[in-house]
Structure 1
């Protein structure tokens, strides 16, 4: 393996997760950030259980669970806060062994990730370090910083946010998938628990769309769409009245600021050994809670590819699959978020009775109601590492294999512990029993809850080839 480091630009949650994933695969990592310390400003508040697979492989999921709480579901209300529809999530773990959705305070997650970076051998952090130039060599990249330093890197991963320098340096441009949307975002605290519904409440009012949610601990968040010509400062002055319907009028306002939500995906994910991930590659409206989750999926699906290329185990063309896989997936979820936002909060006065009728009907159909809280995202598109041919391929390939409970030689663990860090083959061998072939070794295991055998049966498959990022590559 090349002893040149992989330079990760941006030490937010996506960049630090990328550094941990790469280091755990034997890559030396240099983590750069233009800021001397992470900002104390909370931004992301939600992650689904698919995105937690990245935190698990980074070695921090248990610490994350300790500072987060399960999300109870979604309640849609009208302008008078009358319930239009309610979608509750079942208590307990989902198919990956964690809550399907978790709420958290981003500075808590950043503290967990920074502590893990500090204790992980092979990661060097440097901040402030402002990248101003990238020059590609023969299987290397020279990184120039604002203070004149030149650093040789095996590859560069740009996780440097919405105003990404790395994106600009490789000639990437953000493409709009929807109109920008101005919102006031207020972070709240209350020493005593507020008498609020435990899930997310969405006000489906075209005149004043709003969202209220408990976050974690004593923290809450309120968001409201700004009208044309309205200022965040002006609306912030009315916060007590806006919070009263939620029972939060006496909460402390920690911060109130304007956010412009955008629907954008970059047109170029890679130039040579320079790649993009996170907000540097996509920005999404908040309506399906995928802002940070998309970024964690990016680095989970690229870290093993980068490690393989840098070590010489794979050719450079493996990196072509990064944008080919992540681009369509990101565009699908960003468009979905924009569509859901329009369905819940768009239209004029005429849309209100239609929305009420449709949501009432959705709430009465169990399959549709379950879909509203399902954490599964669309499968990856077909490509060199995603063989969606055949009936089993169309059903399972491009999705995540369930992180089911298994028992090996009398010891209970999760499937990921048996899959290892490379490509593996999972097969049904008997009723309630599966076999995993990984690293040349075959291991038989009891399917404790029957999740894996049911998953294979539903997919009309006897076996599934599972990639290092837990995505199913082929099935048949």
Structure 2
């Protein structure tokens, strides 16, 4: 392993998760964060079942689940808050071993990640320290500035910028953001209530082009409202008693305490370059998404899940730097696809003026009764990775397993229930069905046989007509054999 640590810039959820994943693969990690203390107020509120697997790989998923709650689904409302359609989600574990969607209070998530990082001897976290310069090389030389203004230079085997939308790392490597659509100004209102509010426990989307809005009960006593801001409107305009009464209806504004009221501009953007040598970007430093599919945080967690094994292989000598070329090549199309879905859903749910509202009501009256549409509205599955050096997408359309995330049921090993990812081990693995059982051959050559009681993976393999699949360390199927 390299003598110099990996430098992670930014101690938000993406940066801390990256640090835990790197450390889990034997790398020393140095995290720097320019803010002296974690941001105490809510921001991201949604985690899907796929990204919970990333937190599982980081070793923190059970602690996160203890501080989150399943999302009941999605309700589409008209401008008078009447239900147009309802798409429910089961609170039980789904295809990936967790509820399809969960609400979380971001400071709670960061506290779990920070505690795990502090407990890991391979990770050092320095808060109140800002990155101000980078000199590429092997090792990279980074200039850090403390709160007192003193500068120091440190060596790093690689640098990962998880430092948000205004990324310093992105600027220093000469990358810039490219817009995929116009910006969208929204009011974000986080409140707390002394007692439970009489509301449905899912996401409510107000499909009103005059005042598009979203409401969701988050965790414990926390709730969030958001609404699109008109040109010239300010936060003060939208937080008057009359404005709050209209936005929060049927909840009485007097029954809640406003914790945060801010203007936030949602953007759809992707960086033109995610890497310069061993200087890399992840999370909001690499892409920004509108909120309509709740994937802003999830995209960043997917980034570092994929990057962790690739960077560890390169720094450990198992692969050359060309492996890092696949990072943006795989992640950018995936990010663009999900951002595109978010933009499309935003237009479908909130655009079109008065005529759009009439058409939306008529269409939803029909499609909400079609099971396949209901599944699409609640499905958290992300699109498969495209074909490439690390994804062999041969096979019939509709049955190609390569590029897809492997399902994760609870399996039985010697009668003991285990999550499948934990059985696979940290490296690449091969899986083949043997009747109702799975034979797993790990990267170290060891073989494990597991019962698949619900037939989740065995059935999935049969549907893809695969006699075996090779699974990458990020649980993406690399190839399938017929």
TM-score (ref. length: structure 1): 0.98
Tell me, in whole angstroms, the C-alpha distance in 1 between the residues paired with 2:184 and 2:11: 27
Q: Does 1:165 align with 2:164?
A: no
Indicate whether 1:61 and 2:61 are aligned: yes
Aligned pairs for 1:264-413 (under 5 A) are 264-391=269-396, 395-413=400-418
Are the equivalent residues in 1 in contact too, given 2:166–2:285 (CA < 8 A)?
A: yes
Does the alignment pair 1:202 with 2:205? yes
Gaps of 5+ in 1: none
Deviation at 1:411, TM superposition (A): 2.0
The offset of 1:363, in angstroms, is 0.2
Give the alignment partner of residue 428 of structure 2, picking from 398, 401, 423: 423
Q: CA deviation at 1:458?
A: 1.6
Question: Match of 1:131, SS?
Answer: strand
1:11 aligns with 2:11: yes
Aligned to 1:228: 231
Shift of 1:394: 5.7
Q: Partners in 2 of 1:278 and 1:404 — Cα distance? A: 28
Q: Take 2:39 and 2:279, find their aligned partners in 1: how far apart are those partners?
A: 26
Aligned counterpart in structure 1 of residue 220 of structure 2, from 217, 220, 229: 217
**Aligned mate of 1:434, from 420, 438, 443:** 438
Q: What is residue 255 of structure 1 aligned with on the other side? A: 260
Q: Secondary structure at the match of 2:22?
A: helix
What's the TM-score once normalised by structure 2's chain length? 0.96
Distance in 1, Cα, partners of 2:166 & 2:353: 33
> Could you tell me how far 1:158 is from its partner in structure 2?
0.5
- In structure 1, how many angstroms separate the alpha carbons of the residues matched to 2:126 and 2:91? 42
Residues 1:299 and 1:246: Cα distance change in structure 2 (over 3 Å): farther
Q: CA deviation at 1:41?
A: 2.1
Q: Is the 8 A contact 1:74 1:201 kept in 2?
A: yes
Separation in 1, partners of 2:450, 2:167: 46
Number of aligned positions between the proteins: 474
| Alpha-carbon distance in 1 for matches of 2:461, 2:278 | 37
Partner of 2:185: 182
Residue pairs, 1:91-106, within 5 angstroms: 91-106=91-106
> Could you tell which deviates more after superposition, 236-245 or 168-177?
236-245
Verify the 8 A CA contact 2:184 2:266 in the aligned structure 1: yes
Tell me, in whole angstroms, the C-alpha distance in 2 between the residues paired with 1:452 and 1:124: 39
Aligned to 2:29: 29
Return the match for 1:241 from 245, 253, 258.
245
Deviation by residue 1:378-418 (Cα, 9 ceiling, x = unmatched) = 01111111111123896211111111122222222121121
Over 3 Å counting, the alpha-carbon distance change for 1:248 and 1:18 in structure 2 is: farther
Task: Give the secondary structure class of the aligned counterpart of 1:328.
Answer: helix
1:80 alignment partner, SS class: coil
Which residue does 2:40 correspond to in 1?
A: 40
Structure 1 residue aligned with 2:84: 84
Q: Hey, what's the Cα distance between the residues in 1 that align with 2:63 and 2:446?
A: 31
